[in-house]
Structure 1
């Protein structure tokens, strides 16, 4: 989920150890397997890769691109967690920064079947079996928790369980795991309000049109600290069934590039680079209670 930045997330929140691991990405009920194959990085030289444009790695994301995933809506600056991850993947594959080209692709556009105008897309895409019928996913680069955001003045601020939110008017972005979490886990009395993007959901909370909104934990930190006046995080929670939600890089279905991209992500996990990037750009919810 995304929101127009007022400031840099990293400057607002101290970096700390993050659970390898929200989920603004659209969702399905079950997680899908990432395509890894038996490929190693030694098999993945730029000249041998099936690229959209020879010698260039074309990476897509949404526009605007928001904190803490990107910075100043400029994915090419290497700042923000997903921008940094994208360049780290490019480096593992043997590309210089100058060899990377960014293009724009809306979230709902990217998850549809069909040939893609990019080599891979990074945009908080949750890996799922249903979605994997239309697209490929790399190995996961992040695992996620959901969070409840409300106002300091809200009677729901002190909620300690998901059941405490049953009578709240809740909102979330359309087609996201956050919306699924509302329907499947909180199960509020009133039908949740659905918004085209996180900007509109957050504005609805600011205007008190909803009592709370649901977003992934890093985005919730950013919203509460930098975007919503008087915003606060009520708590975080994990899915009640299946594996923890994970984000993967998205590629065209059956892309020959998928195994190499997965090999690059795996290498970043193995050498500790993913954790370092999380520590730099994201923050652990050490002071946010878990809602049961």
Structure 2
């Protein structure tokens, strides 16, 4: 029996529609993207030992040279001794990288947070987190709460100062690009322009030679200077927290780095489980003994 042309066309059209519906129903559907984690990173990008690092399978960590105590010991970041070396290896371990998978790189302090693409995965070098620096680089969560301190030669006029007001008429010095220099300019507001040095070594030499009355450095560095480098100097005092969130050192990463969330997560975990506190107690235990300058 032959079908009428109109009936035949309807039958063929119906068959095609049915086949298309079946094909669409079986076609793979696009996967929903994973929701970002609280850190801004996706969970699967923080796979232990499998981060998108500069060198696959390795974690490249930078710091300045020389590497000073108490942050590092014997100018050897690779030995795991000193506060920042210990923190760096603890972060690496949290990320799934053993000591043999860590590669160290020398990067000058100011270059670490200058604009431009970085050759390291993160830098650890007593770099304080600030909104200005965040314009050029990313920071991890803070790994150390910082206080700035004043160091002067024993028996000097500066050594007898008990408050911020007493510092204003003095010649003060600090390393360029540091919050130590910011503290002089913004907190002390001296009547004489601060002396600025490329390195803390130059500031220490200026203090020993009488070119400045006192220098400002972070508190742990102040303890090391007075204990081992300029033994005829003493800590005049530390500056109090000016309210709000404390100044913190953070690990420096490339702007927009895919690792920022993972590295912050590692730092947060080390703070939560007490690791950072234990490392601080071992290497920076003296940092609570300086009088507060008000």
- Could you say whether these structures have the same fold, taking a TM-score greater than 0.5 normalized by the shorter chain as the test? yes
Q: 1:38, CA displacement in angstroms?
A: 5.1
In terms of mean alpha carbon deviation, does 105-114 or 234-243 score higher?
Answer: 234-243
Q: 1:286, CA displacement in angstroms?
A: 3.9
Count of matched residue pairs: 258
Matched with 1:277 is 279
Is 1:144–1:245's contact at 8 Å kept on the other side of the alignment? yes
Matched with 1:215 is 217
Give the Cα–Cα distance (whole angstroms) in 2 for the partners of residues 123 and 41 of structure 1. 28
Query: Could you list the runs of 5+ residues in structure 2 that have no partner in the other structure?
Result: 1-36
Matched with 1:257 is 259
Matched with 2:228 is 226
1:96 matched to 2:98? The reply is yes
Q: 1:188, CA displacement in angstroms?
A: 1.3
Residues 286 and 60 of structure 1: is their aligned pair in 2 closer, same or farther, counting only changes over 3 Å? Answer: closer
1:246 equivalent among 245, 248, 261: 248
Matched with 2:25 is none
Give the Cα–Cα distance (whole angstroms) in 1 for the partners of residues 163 and 272 of structure 2. 36
Is 1:238–1:244's contact at 8 Å kept on the other side of the alignment? no
Q: What is the 5 A alignment of 1:116-195?
A: 116-195=118-197
Give deviations 1:8-27, integer Å, cap 9, x for gaps: xxxxxxxxxxxxxxxxxxxx
Q: 1:47, CA displacement in angstroms?
A: 5.2
Give the Cα–Cα distance (whole angstroms) in 1 for the partners of residues 261 and 177 of structure 2. 27
Q: 1:114, CA displacement in angstroms?
A: 1.7
Is 1:141–1:247's contact at 8 Å kept on the other side of the alignment? yes
Give the Cα–Cα distance (whole angstroms) in 1 for the partners of residues 287 and 62 of structure 2. 29
Q: 1:159, CA displacement in angstroms?
A: 1.1
What is the alpha-carbon root mean square deviation over aligned residues?
1.8
Of structures 1 and 2, the larger Rg is shown by 2
Matched with 2:33 is none
In terms of mean alpha carbon deviation, does 46-55 or 144-153 score higher?
Answer: 46-55
More helix by share: 2
